[in-house]
Structure 1
Amino acid sequence: MTKKRKEKEPQRERELGKSILPFSRVQKIIKADKELPIVARDATFLISLATEEFIRRLSEACQKLAEREKRTTVQQKDVASVVRRADEFMFLEEIIAFQRTEPPQKRKPKALQDAESQSEPTMLDKFVTRGEESQEQGAVAEPPKYKQ
């Protein structure tokens, strides 16, 4: 039995004079900057619209790059590539790190992880074996003496 794919919702268009982003959340982010004592409602609204536009442009550029590589999912490497190539997003270069070329290591099955963890000595095992080695060599540490 196959599952039916959910139909994608149509793109949400914003109403005139309103932003898709929650006003109170944008206001809270602005107030986090201690250098700005008071920000007008109109300024908060314009910042919200500018943020929407920025997100739209960045996501469209990343989507186009993914489509060129015949993928439907935008990946972190797409965002990093767009940031490095487009002058419009150069200011993000320090924030968005370019992904390393080696793929991430795949997880091992739990049975293999348990077997490996049992074969490797733990930190406690290492500490105990060091103490045993020093005793075998005759270097027994005396407990500290306290003055009374």
Structure 2
Amino acid sequence: MLIPLAFVVSGCGVSKPVDYPAVTGRRVQVTSISADSAVSYRLGAYELVFAPGPDVARHARRAALVTDFAGGHGHARGFMEWGRAGEASVLYVAEGWARQRDINGEPLTVFELALSPLPVQRTRNAESQPVAATPLAVRVVVREASGDVTLTRQR
């Protein structure tokens, strides 16, 4: 009696659809320059590399992002490469916001970015894959202590 009831109860909840799997990676380099003033101001540059994903879907390969933080949040911009194994990368211009947080003693940098495709001139014989003209929305979380990175594509 309890097992069928458990199936009914678990099926009644609202399930959140998973649009895209998270992509993991590493922070390869980071450079930071701080200015001491009444409000803390810091410039940061990040180079990120992402682990290969499934061959069926395009995924983030690498990113270069520049931030300017005033009081722990600020503007972020740069570029990202996306692609599948064996095909040319698609370049995206990244622009959005970043904020720094300390959660349970662990410093995090969270990027909320819109990625717009950047047209790239290719040779005549290179086969071009269609790219969505709609900007992609992504969240990138950098765990500052370990250098671990997680990218989640948003709706």
TM-score category of the 2 structures, normalised to the smaller one: under 0.3
**Higher share of residues assigned helix:** 1
TM-score, normalised on structure 1?
Answer: 0.21
TM-score, normalised on structure 2?
Answer: 0.20
Larger radius of gyration: 1
**Higher share of residues assigned strand:** 2
